[in-house]
Chains A and B, each alone.
Chain A
Amino acid sequence: MGGRVLAARLALAFSLLAVCGASGNSWAGATFDAVKARGYVQCGVNVGLAGFSSPDSAGSWTGLDVDICRAVAAVMFGDVTKVKFMPLSTQQRFTALQSGEVDLLSRNTTWTLQRDTSNGMHFAPVTFYDGQGFLVAKKLGVKTAIELNGATVCVQTGTTTELNLSDYFRAHGITFKPVVIEALSEVSHAFFSGRCDAYTSDTSQLASIRAVDAPNPEDYIILPELISKEPLAPAVRHGDDQWFDLVRWTVYALLEAEEKGIGSKNVDKALASPDPTIQRMLGVQPGMGRALGVDERWAYNAIRLVGNYGEIFERTVGKYSPLRLDRGLNALWTQGGLMYAPPIR
């Protein structure tokens, strides 16, 4: 695997050299136009993370990150099937976006200053507010993360997780030994076989792993501390503001739809709504679609075909999924959460 991944990484690194050289200097609208001409969106997703992006038994991709890609396809083409998913490892993801292999990276990626600047990415609105935590076996008898002094901690390579982990232990003057493994499945295997005392990752991911990989999920607990802020957001590369706007407002439309109580079931009825804000969003009053450069029915299509943010959340990671995560910070601002969309007008 190391060899193959290295080869893939090399290929990506060198496609930066060649592929992009061909596209010349003009970048305004380049991605938007390329996607339109190609007829589908290339979307980079996780290779397998239950609830966010994983192929089901029929081979079709499911999850919150995946549904964001579908919503973008619905906005662009009025068709959720006009999207191709490219599973990317944590190390491949940025190079794949930078080199133009994918148009959109929707792969539980934390928004940080360095990624926003020196990695050449623009982050769309946060689709999931997460934080890094620890998963431990109950029989260890550990109640808080401070008690992990001297512990061996399993962690996946190529993430901000390694940095947070080291910062947390340094800040509290306690020690640990990391075991850094490349593939998520191998990290889980090492942890559940007892190689490590604790497993650190974003808590949503820990919940997903506990639900899917643990021999008995009841034997493991997630410690109460969150040692970092992990706002997970879709990202596009620098250089095409039109494409960035489109992705950004797709996410906002999903949030706005939930706030207005419009979902996949009642969106057709909502077309007759007397509320001017709903009329503008759904394209009954034209203008928003033209501003984005797409069909006036853009938001209508996304809501009808994918659902609003609340529907996506509950279906993929919330109460109708095996993960059973609470809305928490991911509730709308009107319900004590952080999800807030600027007005669509």
Chain B
Amino acid sequence: MPHHSLGAWFGDQRVRGVLVQLLVIGVVLSLGAWLAHNTIENLSQRGLASGFAFLGRQANFAIGESMIPYAASDTYGWAMLVGLLNTLKVGVAGLVLATLLGTLIGLARLSPNWLASRLAGVYVEAVRNVPLLLHLFLWYALITDGLPGPRSAFQPLGGVFLCNRGLVMTVPASHPAWTAAAVALVVAVVAAFWLWRRWWWAPALVPALPLLAWAGLGAPLAMDAPWLLGFNFRGGVTLSPEFLALLLGLVIYTAAFIAEIVRGGILAVSRGQGEAALALGLSRGQVMWLVVLPQALRVMVPPLTSQYLNLLKNSSLAVAIGYPDLVSVLDTTINQTGQAIEGVALIMMVFLAISLCTSALMNWYNRRIALTQG
């Protein structure tokens, strides 16, 4: 091994590179340690409570809507889970609906029909240039101001009521057969998605499997219809005005961006592809579905991922119109416990986790459709 002087050793570009990286990591770590130390010091100096022990204490506040049983006597941790599920509920419904609406608008904008393409253009420009918060206030005001009270609710269909307390619907009465049917539906959709290229009849699973599960467990027909008692409807299922306003706002706003991504993706597929397919005698629908869209998807998926992440994060605007999402629940928690740093840290961690999962799923899908090219 040759002898190196210190100067020559430092002159080596690789060594210098490693040294600089070590220095940067050191600075970042010590800055973080200094901030953490300072916070803990300041908190204890002023006798402020810290730590996450509060999650196990009784929450003592009510939450407007919940997918799991919740009472004020449950813990802050459970309340947080209620908020998280509410966030996911509006997020998942928003993703599906925004994708469908966005694709439709994007296709319409490329349509040879003059009226359809102009209408789609106006939609995109009008919607995406207005802040989302204003969308939410608009929908919320339309629902609460525009619709009648529960005692004079609209009844567009038998058993369905629309009023300023939300959309109240008749649903099948709770029975294990319906739960089994719902599970079967999810299984069938996933199975059909995997198998439809292999077996042409695979899509038939979607109606068949749930029907079998339902019939196999006794085919219950009892319904749970809402009725008016005192101030409000009892029974049935209610979609609250807050949920509806948030969902409408998120879907309509995000769909405008998705429409542009769809349009961009389709235009990125060379015209020759479509023309060749037409020349082979495929119909316009077949050209779009079998030739253009599969290739356009490759261009669309990465920007689509960004929009999905935006939609999920934008759902935190819920607190402005009173939908009890994760941020709203943790807001109340912060105020009652006074532990702002822990509360904000929880909000950040949960949104980070949701975003990373979404992005991992979309990246997996992106790789999958990229592979089929080969």
Q: Could you tell me if B331 and A158 are in contact, using CB atoms closer than 8 angstroms?
A: yes
Among B217-239, those with CB < 8 Å from A are 229-232, 234
Q: Could you tell me if A195 and B241 are in contact, using CB atoms closer than 8 angstroms?
A: yes
**Among the listed stretches A174-182, A256-264, A275-283, A284-292, which one makes contact with chain B, having 4 or more residues with CB under 8 Å of it?**
A174-182
List the A side residues contacting B336 at CB < 8 Å.
114, 160, 162-163
One of B35, B48, B62, B316 near A17 (C-beta < 8 A): B35
Residue of A nearest to B36 (CB): A17
Q: Is the CB of A88 closer than 8 A to any CB of chain B? A: no
Q: Could you tell me if B331 and A157 are in contact, using CB atoms closer than 8 angstroms?
A: yes
The size class of the interface chain B forms with chain A is 35 or more
Q: Is the CB of A58 closer than 8 A to any CB of chain B? A: no
Contact code string B318-333 (vs A, CB < 8 Å = 1, else 0): 1111101001100110
Q: Could you tell me if A179 and B232 are in contact, using CB atoms closer than 8 angstroms?
A: no
Q: How far is the CA of A284 from the CA of B324 in the complex (A)?
A: 58
Given A2-B316, A18-B35, A152-B232, A114:B332 Cβ within 8 A: no
Q: Could you tell me if A151 and B320 are in contact, using CB atoms closer than 8 angstroms?
A: no
List the A side residues contacting B49 at CB < 8 Å.
118
Q: How far is the CA of A27 from the CA of B44 in the complex (A)?
A: 13
Among B184-234, those with CB < 8 Å from A are 229-232, 234
Q: Is the CB of A166 closer than 8 A to any CB of chain B? A: yes
Q: Could you tell me if A157 and B72 are in contact, using CB atoms closer than 8 angstroms?
A: no
Among B118-134, those with CB < 8 Å from A are 133
List the B side residues contacting A158 at CB < 8 Å.
331-332, 334-335
Q: Could you tell me if B47 and A18 are in contact, using CB atoms closer than 8 angstroms?
A: no
Q: Is the CB of B270 closer than 8 A to any CB of chain A? A: no
**Among the listed stretches A183-191, A204-212, A218-226, which one makes contact with chain B, having 4 or more residues with CB under 8 Å of it?**
A183-191
List the A side residues contacting B140 at CB < 8 Å.
190
List the B side residues contacting A6 at CB < 8 Å.
316, 327, 347
Most buried by A among B46, B232, B337: B46
Q: Could you tell me if A98 and B316 are in contact, using CB atoms closer than 8 angstroms?
A: no
Q: Is the CB of A82 closer than 8 A to any CB of chain B? A: no
Q: Could you tell me if A194 and B64 are in contact, using CB atoms closer than 8 angstroms?
A: no
**Among the listed stretches B141-149, B296-304, B361-369, which one makes contact with chain A, having 4 or more residues with CB under 8 Å of it?**
B141-149
Residue of B nearest to A154 (CB): B322
Q: How far is the CA of A151 from the CA of B232 in the complex (A)?
A: 7
Q: How far is the CA of A21 from the CA of B319 in the complex (A)?
A: 32
Q: Could you tell me if B230 and A178 are in contact, using CB atoms closer than 8 angstroms?
A: no
Q: How far is the CA of A140 from the CA of B231 in the complex (A)?
A: 9
Q: Is the CB of A16 closer than 8 A to any CB of chain B? A: yes
Most buried by B among A17, A20, A25, A176: A17
List the B side residues contacting A140 at CB < 8 Å.
231
Given A18-B35, A193-B164, A197-B231, A162:B332 Cβ within 8 A: yes
One of B232, B320, B337, B344 near A2 (C-beta < 8 A): B320
A194 to chain B, nearest CB (A): 5
Q: Could you tell me if A98 and B64 are in contact, using CB atoms closer than 8 angstroms?
A: no
Among A228-243, those with CB < 8 Å from B are 237-239
List the B side residues contacting A237 at CB < 8 Å.
46
List the A side residues contacting B46 at CB < 8 Å.
98, 120, 237-239
Q: Is the CB of B340 closer than 8 A to any CB of chain A? A: yes
One of B141, B145, B337, B341 near A16 (C-beta < 8 A): B341
List the A side residues contacting B111 at CB < 8 Å.
none
Among B134-172, those with CB < 8 Å from A are 137, 140-141, 144-145, 149, 164-165
Q: Could you tell me if A179 and B322 are in contact, using CB atoms closer than 8 angstroms?
A: yes
Please report the total number of A residues contacting B with Cβ < 8 Å: 63
List the B side residues contacting A180 at CB < 8 Å.
64, 319, 322, 324, 328, 332
Q: How far is the CA of A117 from the CA of B327 in the complex (A)?
A: 25
Q: Could you tell me if A13 and B38 are in contact, using CB atoms closer than 8 angstroms?
A: no
Q: How far is the CA of A239 from the CA of B45 in the complex (A)?
A: 9
Q: Could you tell me if A194 and B144 are in contact, using CB atoms closer than 8 angstroms?
A: yes
List the A side residues contacting B286 at CB < 8 Å.
none
A94 to chain B, nearest CB (A): 6
Q: How far is the CA of A182 from the CA of B141 in the complex (A)?
A: 15
Residue of B nearest to A147 (CB): B230
Q: Could you tell me if A163 and B60 are in contact, using CB atoms closer than 8 angstroms?
A: yes
Q: Could you tell me if A120 and B231 are in contact, using CB atoms closer than 8 angstroms?
A: no
Q: Could you tell me if A2 and B141 are in contact, using CB atoms closer than 8 angstroms?
A: no
Q: Is the CB of B291 closer than 8 A to any CB of chain A? A: no
Q: How far is the CA of A184 from the CA of B225 in the complex (A)?
A: 35
Q: How far is the CA of A115 from the CA of B334 in the complex (A)?
A: 12
Contact code string A153-177 (vs B, CB < 8 Å = 1, else 0): 0100111101101110110000011
Q: Could you tell me if B61 and A2 are in contact, using CB atoms closer than 8 angstroms?
A: no
Q: Could you tell me if B61 and A150 are in contact, using CB atoms closer than 8 angstroms?
A: no
One of B42, B229, B327 near A21 (C-beta < 8 A): B42
List the B side residues contacting A118 at CB < 8 Å.
47-49, 337-338
List the B side residues contacting A114 at CB < 8 Å.
336-338
B252 to chain A, nearest CB (A): 18
One of A94, A154, A166, A187 near B72 (C-beta < 8 A): A166
List the B side residues contacting A179 at CB < 8 Å.
64, 242, 322
List the A side residues contacting B230 at CB < 8 Å.
149-151
List the A side residues contacting B43 at CB < 8 Å.
16
Q: Could you tell me if B317 and A1 are in contact, using CB atoms closer than 8 angstroms?
A: yes
Among A49-92, those with CB < 8 Å from B are 90-91
Among A102-161, those with CB < 8 Å from B are 114-115, 117-120, 140, 149-152, 154, 157-160
8 contacts between A and B (CB under 8 A): A1-B133, A3-B133, A13-B341, A17-B38, A152-B232, A178-B63, A186-B137, A195-B241
- The 7 A-B pairs of least Cβ separation, nearest first, read A21-B38, A181-B322, A118-B49, A119-B338, A120-B46, A2-B317, A193-B144
